[in-house]
A and B are shown apart, each in its own frame.
Chain A
Amino acid sequence: MCIDEALLTSYMDGELGEPYRTQTEEHLAHCPACRARLDRLKAISKMLSRDDVDEVAVEKAKSETASLLERKFFSEDGRRPAFLRRRIEMGLGSMITAAAGLVVVFIGGFVLFGTSSEQTSEIIPSYTVQADTSNVHFVSTQDRGLDGYSLEEILSYLDSKGYDVDISIKGLQPIE
């Protein structure tokens, strides 16, 4: 009687205990049909093993991830962010509770030590600025600028103030 295929699978995987293993080996030695079935099973396994990861890529990934985890969890400067990270990673429920707590404290602060307008005015004296004719002074009250005077007027003004002004025109020699 030939071997059950499930038994062959276990035999191939090295999972068959005694005495079944020896019995299976003895049977395989003289049964070409069962050997062929075992070969077929091995072929499937071999085919699957062709689709394997690239060992070089695995080693690279392993060392990259190792140094990253080392930095994150086991280096001296890495401890702080890891600790912070652990604190930040909390469930949605506790996060909502924490947020609600903050809101309560914030509002509670106003209710207990709340701000009336008198208290505010004690701390910050009120100060308002309104621009009107009483506090805004125009720098110049005259409606006539320097452009409104002729050269003679300017010269006579300066002369009256005691300045001696000499004026010449470019490119012209004064008459001796």
Chain B
Amino acid sequence: MEIRSTDKESFTLVYDGCYRVLIRICYHVVYNMDIAEDLVQEAFERFYLKNMTFPSEDEAKYWLIRVVRNLALNHVRRNRRESTMMEKVRQRSSGGANARDAQKELDESETIREVRKAVSGLPENLRMVIILKEYGDLDYKSIGKVLGISEGNVKVRVHRARKKLEETLAGEEAYVY
């Protein structure tokens, strides 16, 4: 079905189909829900205002993912220092209802912190591939289309990214098993 971005029916279809994927991808680049929400909104505004036609829903989705990815990366580059500070404050302010919950939450947030550190530590070409794979639920073919690389290249990058993550997170396996 052809998608016209200013047509209400098409817009709603794409919105319902893509919102969750877009916000998850965006969140895992900026690590802040409010900012992710704003950036995804901006992506949909651009989608409408550009008045574009796509041959399929998937093509519209790839376009939106590309826009969100660029917006998120630009945001991170601009606000690198601020976002780190906000993240620190946010983590400090989280607390549990009782001691056991608190401990569990501490372990959980510790794991999350390690994961974020490991993912953020990846080179950008590997990082984006793994975010699209793990949080965008995209297959290799779709990732290739979004990033403009071949499927074989995606395969190699996913493998390298997992390998690096495994090395970084090796000390954290206690939380997994």
In the complex, chain A residues 68-87 whose Cβ is within 8 Å of any chain B Cβ:
68-69, 72-74, 85-86
Q: Which residues of B contact A85 (CB under 8 A)?
A: 49
Q: Which residues of B contact A86 (CB under 8 A)?
A: 49
Q: Which residues of A contact B135 (CB under 8 A)?
A: 48, 52
Q: In the complex, which of the residues A45, A53, A72, A74 contacts B134, with contact meaning CB atoms closer than 8 Å?
A: A45
In the complex, chain A residues 1-52 whose Cβ is within 8 Å of any chain B Cβ:
5-6, 9-10, 13-15, 40-41, 43-52
Q: Does B44 contact A (CB under 8 A)?
A: yes
Distance between Cα atoms of A54 and B20 in the complex (Å): 11
Distance between Cα atoms of A85 and B130 in the complex (Å): 37
Q: In the complex, which of the residues B20, B36, B112, B169 contacts A44, with contact meaning CB atoms closer than 8 Å?
A: B169
* Number of residues from A at the complex interface, CB < 8 A: 36
Distance between Cα atoms of A57 and B32 in the complex (Å): 12
Q: Which residues of B contact A62 (CB under 8 A)?
A: 19-20, 23
Q: Which residues of A contact B69 (CB under 8 A)?
A: none
- Taking residues whose C-beta sits less than 8 angstroms from the other chain, chain B's interface range is 35 or more
Q: Does A123 contact B (CB under 8 A)?
A: no
Give chain A's interface secondary structure class.
helix
In the complex, chain B residues 129-177 whose Cβ is within 8 Å of any chain A Cβ:
130, 133-135, 139-140, 155-156, 158-159, 162-163, 165-166, 169, 172-173, 175-177
Distance between Cα atoms of A174 and B33 in the complex (Å): 95
Q: Which residues of A contact B173 (CB under 8 A)?
A: 43
Contacts A15-B139, A43-B173, A44-B166 known; A51 to B116 CB distance under 8 Å?
A: yes
Distance between Cα atoms of A48 and B119 in the complex (Å): 9
Contacts A43-B177, A69-B44, A69-B48 known; A51 to B33 CB distance under 8 Å?
A: no
Q: Does A61 contact B (CB under 8 A)?
A: yes
Say how far A118's CB is from chain B's closest CB, in angstroms: 53
Which B residues lie at the A interface, using CB under 8 A? 6, 8, 11, 15, 19-20, 23-24, 27-28, 33, 36-37, 40-41, 44-45, 48-49, 108, 111-112, 115-116, 119, 130, 133-135, 139-140, 155-156, 158-159, 162-163, 165-166, 169, 172-173, 175-177
